[in-house]
Amino acid sequence: MVRACRALDRANQLADLVELRLDYLSRPKLAELRPRVKKPLIVTNRLSQEGGKFKGNEEERIGFLKSALELKASFIDVELASPPQYVDELLRNRNRVKIILSFHNFKKTSSFKELQSLLDQMIELHADVAKIVTLARSWLDNLTILNLILYARARNQKIVAFCLGEKGKISRLLSPLMGSEWTYVAWAGNKKVAPGQWSLRELQEIWRRLI
């Protein structure tokens, strides 16, 4: 908890949004952490098959997300693959909290048609934000994801989408310029938590030169 508090204090100084990964905490005390966040807060308790580290069962995992609703987080990220009854409950009780329906594939980037189908499901469920993240096994996979952002914009759906891995770094850089709501960075070079992630300083420097 002490390390989490320090990280949140640092993120408050640097970030536009702060994501709190509850599955990285052995004993998450959301009620204590929530007041420390001074920026819009995304609360995530990642599903194990999509890279999460939470050790409890699904009811316990979703229970933390329900608590985040009560504590008025800005966003709650719940996987589309979560049990439908839990997804439906979070969507029905969202009030002013925005729900991110997410999908992560750490093995590959599927075809545009398959990803389009996933996005259509998120749209049908009235996700406030759709999030689709896949591993780039080739440079062309970045184009698939960037085209998905354009499709979402045409459907008036807010989206966060990019590729993981070294071959996906370009999509992390370009996706906000194409219409993605945001991208994820590490606040320091030695704090990266996902393959291909930029540090805040790296991305700021590149954007400064591009824009």
Question: Hey, which residues are catalytic here?
Answer: 104, 131
- Joined tokens for residue 113: 């048609």
- Joined tokens for residue 6: 């320090």
CA atoms within 13 A on the CB side of 62: 17
Edge to edge, what strands does the sheet with 98-105 contain? 18-21, 41-44, 75-79, 98-105, 129-135, 159-164
Nearest to 162 by CA among 206, 211, 201, 195: 195
Q: Where are the alpha helices (DSSP H) in 16-139?
A: 30-33, 58-70, 84-92, 112-124
- Residues with Cβ within 8 Å of residue 18, at least 6 apart in sequence: 8, 11, 12, 37, 39, 40, 41, 42
Return the sign of the alpha-carbon dihedral for residues 183, 146, 94, 58: negative
Which position has the token pair 């071959």? 167
- Residues with Cβ within 8 Å of residue 29, at least 6 apart in sequence: 1
Rounded-to-integer distance, Cα 3 and Cα 14, Å: 17
